Amino acid sequence: MYQKTLSLRIFGFIASFILTVAAFLIIIHPGLFHLENRAAIVIILSLALLQFIIQSIFFLDLGRETGPQWILAFFISTLFIILIIVFFSIWIMDHLNYNMMPMS
Amino acid sequence: MEENIKVEDDIKVFGFWIYLMTDLIIFAVLFACFIVLRNSTFGGPSGHELFRMSSVLIETLALLTSSFTCSLAMFEIQQKRKNMATFWFAVTFALGMVFLFIEFSEFSELMDKGANWQRSAFLSAFFTLVGTHGLHISVGLLWIIIAIFRVWLRPLSAFNVCNIFRLVLFWHFLDLVWIFIFTVVYGTGHLL
């Protein structure tokens, strides 16, 4: 059982390492991958999200509780709150700027 | 042995998890603030001119590796191998110090260029977000020192193991937040 846990950790570490280096290469040379800067941002954000999920599962052991999954439920509801805070802040404030600063 | 295996089910772990989630909301608010103010440089330097990506990569990999060695330390504790657990916690501490050192030298370099937190709203948001994370790392490093002494001097009772398990959760959590600082602050800052 423990040995299994250790191999999960090692897998999580290697996957996170690869994703970090991949994101770094895209940040430094977006032209190398024939990417516009906008597309590169979308891709590194997806890589970050993927790494977030991998670390949650393989380091934080999310979803491997015994019994009712209170921790997972709390985690997901928090992510929902965060989505609301971040997404709507950006949405509102960007349009506020757009409407209030006349650009020549 | 039985109580060690069940440590994850402890009510204290759930309470600590609630703390971690509220902390995550704090970081989310700071992220929202940073993203909203990302272009408000007030004529000052932007992220693209300021950030040195090579040192940020070393910082990121140091923190990621420390998160991994931290889980190895927890593994050794569950195996009741005290010396190995102490060793891996020491490695975690060293990598955390490397991270903090690079962060502080980056901050002082920004200050030298006149890019302090009074320069623009963008830099205020930057220093608040990254500084809050750095503060958490400092607290985590103090906690690691305490954990090393706990492993060294105390028996591996359920109480002590549970305390160390919460430290490991905290440290993983900090690496989780750093993924997004690396991507959102430094990555998009460098690309835009």
Does A3 share its domain with A22? yes
Distance between A31 CA and the closest CA of chain B, angstroms: 11
Does A79 share its domain with A103? yes
Domains annotated for chain B, with CATH where assigned, are 53-191 (1.20.120.80)
Does A30 share its domain with A16? yes
pTM: 0.90
Q: What is the pLDDT of residues B66-86, one digit of tens each?
A: 999 999 999 999 888 999 999
B34 and B125 in contact (C-beta within 8 Å)?
yes
Closest residue in A to B187 (Cα) is A27
**Residues of chain B neighbouring A9 (CB-CB closer than 8 A):** 68, 71-72, 75
Does A75 share its domain with A56? no
Q: What is the pLDDT of residues B131-150, one digit of tens each?
A: 999 999 999 999 999 999 99
Domain extent at residue A97 = 67-104
Q: What are the respective helix, strand and coil percentages of chain A, to the nearest 5?
A: 80, 0, 20
Q: Is the dihedral of CA A87, B130, B100, B134 positive or negative?
A: negative
Contact between chains at A9 and B173 (C-beta distance less than 8 A):
no
Does A71 share its domain with A52? no
Does A40 share its domain with A1? yes
The per-residue pLDDT string of chain B (192 residues; one tens digit each, 9 = 90 and over) reads 344 555 555 788 889 999 999 999 999 999 999 999 988 888 888 888 888 999 999 999 999 999 999 999 999 998 889 999 999 999 999 999 999 999 999 999 999 988 888 999 999 999 999 999 999 999 999 999 999 999 989 888 888 888 899 999 999 999 999 999 999 999 998 888
Contact between chains at A71 and B35 (C-beta distance less than 8 A):
no
User: What CA–CA distance (Å, rounded) separates A32 from B105?
Assistant: 30
Distance between B115 CA and the closest CA of chain A, angstroms: 22
Does A72 share its domain with A56? no
Contact between chains at B180 and A71 (C-beta distance less than 8 A):
no
- The whole-number pLDDT of residue B2 equals 43
A13 and B64 in contact (C-beta within 8 Å)?
yes
Does A78 share its domain with A47? no
Interchain CB contacts (distance < 8 Å): A and B: 120
Buried b (16+ CB within 10 A) or exposed e, B130-150: bebbbebbeebbebbeebbeb
